[in-house]
């Protein structure tokens, strides 16, 4: 029920704030430790990073959630990497990225968040994204809107700015794109091509005839979603996001009046996505790996 969802959100907010404190402590430790002792490890390649704090923050979150909601399932970035993952069923399932923006975290760039979603009947119904460095807390409940509280202030309804006209042109848009951690040639080529088309190289055939105001690669998929919900960014596009990168963000974007397209619709399928799309075509058709504000599927 909607009251149940509210009380779950209230509880996970307290957990996210504790996680945030540990992230801040970790950042301090990493920035003041010599590079040999930082506890930074590589996952699938030298740019796919995990720190001891990713693991510790996830353990803290999982412990608190299990204690309060022992029957809920749990999918977390770090437990998934360690081979422990509950299958996605219709049961309530938390989907957590303890530190989204790990590369930023390691380098001391304060654009990092904890991202916590709740999935019910295979659809995200609660989203929470918290950047402890800025004390920005984004929350959303399916059917009840999305909000942003800055510095513990009164939550403000999202989007903060009014929605633009249907986004049928790139003209004036700010687009968040990410390089991700897949750096094989096919992936990098597909991304570079899309980026240059978006940036407006006529030789590469800007499908929409206009160019975006700019592209941004800020380094956190979850915070990209939050910015789309806020209205600061018009589109977030990425190839190969993981469920925990976007689960909470999907609720925020949808509740703010935006549209989520591509395989993000079904969280399960984002796990092993390896398809590459052309983002300019996708802007027109509303398909593929996009989060768009101000355009609906039927347009
Ligand atoms: C990553 C970040 C990054 C995105 C990657 C994600 P992590 O998450 O969100 O911006 O490009 O696809 O996996 O590893 O920092 O939790």
> What is the per-residue pLDDT across 165-223, written as a single tens digit (0 to 9) for each?
445 456 677 888 888 877 788 778 777 877 777 776 555 545 445 667 788 999 999 99
Provide the 8-state DSSP code for 88: P
Helix spans in the chain (H): 2-31, 52-68, 77-81, 102-107, 185-199, 221-230, 243-255, 267-270, 279-285
CA of 178 to the centre of ligand 1 (A): 8
Paired residues of 115 in beta bridges = 97, 129
Q: Is 219 in the pocket of ligand 1 (CB under 6 A)?
A: yes
Highest average pLDDT, of 37-46, 65-74, 84-93, comes from 65-74
Pocket test for ligand 1, best of 181, 222, 226 (most atoms within 8 A of CB): 181
- State the DSSP string of 13-40: HHHHHHHHHHHHHHHHHHHTS-GGGS-E
Please say whether the dihedral angle defined by the alpha carbons of residues 64, 68, 69 and 71, taken in this order, is positive or negative: positive
Q: Can you tell me the mean pLDDT for 30-55? A: 73
Does 48 have pLDDT greater than 90? Answer: no
1.25.40.10, 2.60.40.10, 3.30.56.10, 3.30.540.10: which CATH number matches 2-157? Answer: 3.30.540.10
> Which entry of 8, 75, 99, 129 is annotated as an active-site residue?
99
pLDDT band at 73, cuts 50/70/90? very high
For position 110, what pLDDT does the model report? 97
Backbone angles phi, psi at 59, to 5 degrees: -60, -45
Please say whether the dihedral angle defined by the alpha carbons of residues 276, 277, 278 and 283, taken in this order, is positive or negative: negative
Domain boundaries, the chain: 2-157, 174-293
89 labelled catalytic: no
**Ligand 1 atom with the shortest distance to the CA of 178:** 11
For position 117, what pLDDT does the model report? 95
For position 223, what pLDDT does the model report? 96
245 labelled catalytic: yes
Q: Which of 33-47, 107-121, 144-158, 264-278 has the lowest mean pLDDT?
A: 264-278
Rounded mean pLDDT of the chain?
79
For position 266, what pLDDT does the model report? 36
Q: Is 100 in the pocket of ligand 1 (CB under 6 A)?
A: yes
CATH of domain 174-293: 3.40.190.80
Q: Which of 31-35, 53-57, 215-219 has the lowest mean pLDDT?
A: 31-35
CA pair distance 123, 195, nearest whole angstrom? 30
Q: Which of 33-47, 185-199, 271-285 has the lowest mean pLDDT?
A: 271-285
CA of 101 to the centre of ligand 1 (A): 6
13 labelled catalytic: no
Q: Is 97 in the pocket of ligand 1 (CB under 6 A)?
A: yes
- More confident of the two residues 263 and 277: 263
For position 37, what pLDDT does the model report? 61
**Ligand 1 atom with the shortest distance to the CA of 222:** 9
CA of 219 to the centre of ligand 1 (A): 6
100 labelled catalytic: yes
> What is the per-residue pLDDT across 210-268, written as a single tens digit (0 to 9) for each?
667 788 999 999 999 999 899 888 888 877 678 888 889 989 988 988 777 654 333 33
> Which entry of 245, 250, 270, 295 is annotated as an active-site residue?
245
For position 136, what pLDDT does the model report? 98
Q: Is 180 in the pocket of ligand 1 (CB under 6 A)?
A: yes
123-131 and 174-177 as β-strands: parallel, antiparallel, unpaired?
unpaired
> Which entry of 54, 58, 77, 234 is annotated as an active-site residue?
77
CA of 42 to the centre of ligand 1 (A): 13
For position 80, what pLDDT does the model report? 80
99 labelled catalytic: yes
């Amino acid at each position: 029920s909607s009251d149940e969802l509210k009380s779950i959100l209230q509880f996970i907010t307290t957990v996210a704030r504790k996680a945030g404190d540990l992230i801040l402590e970790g950042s301090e430790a990493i920035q003041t430790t010599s590079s040999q002792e930082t506890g930074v490890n590589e996952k699938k390649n030298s740019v796919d990073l995990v720190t001891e704090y990713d693991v510790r923050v996830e353990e803290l979150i999982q412990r608190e959630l299990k204690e309060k909601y022992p029957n809920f399932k749990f999918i977390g970035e770090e437990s998934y990497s360690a081979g422990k993952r509950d299958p996605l069923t219709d049961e309530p399932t938390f989907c957590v990225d303890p530190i989204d923006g790990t590369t930023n975290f390691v380098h001391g760039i304060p654009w990092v968040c904890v991202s916590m979603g709740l999935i019910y009947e295979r659809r995200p119904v609660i989203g929470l994204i918290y950047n402890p460095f800025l004390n920005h807390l984004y929350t959303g409940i399916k059917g009840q809107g999305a909000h942003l509280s800055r510095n513990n202030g009164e939550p403000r309804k999202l989007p903060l700015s009014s929605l633009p006209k249907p986004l049928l042109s790139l003209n004036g848009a700010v687009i968040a794109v990410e390089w991700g951690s897949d750096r094989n040639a096919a992936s990098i080529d597909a991304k570079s091509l899309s980026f240059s088309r978006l940036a407006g190289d006529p030789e590469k055939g800007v499908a929409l005839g206009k160019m975006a105001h700019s592209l941004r690669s800020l380094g956190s998929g979850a915070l990209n979603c939050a910015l789309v919900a806020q209205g600061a960014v018009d589109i977030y596009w990425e190839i190969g996001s993981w469920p925990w990168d976007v689960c909470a963000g999907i609720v925020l974007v949808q509740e703010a009046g935006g549209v989520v397209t591509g395989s993000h619709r079904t969280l399960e399928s984002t796990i092993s996505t390896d398809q590459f799309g052309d983002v300019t075509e996708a802007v027109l058709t509303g398909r593929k790996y996009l989060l768009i504000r101000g355009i609906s599927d039927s347009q």
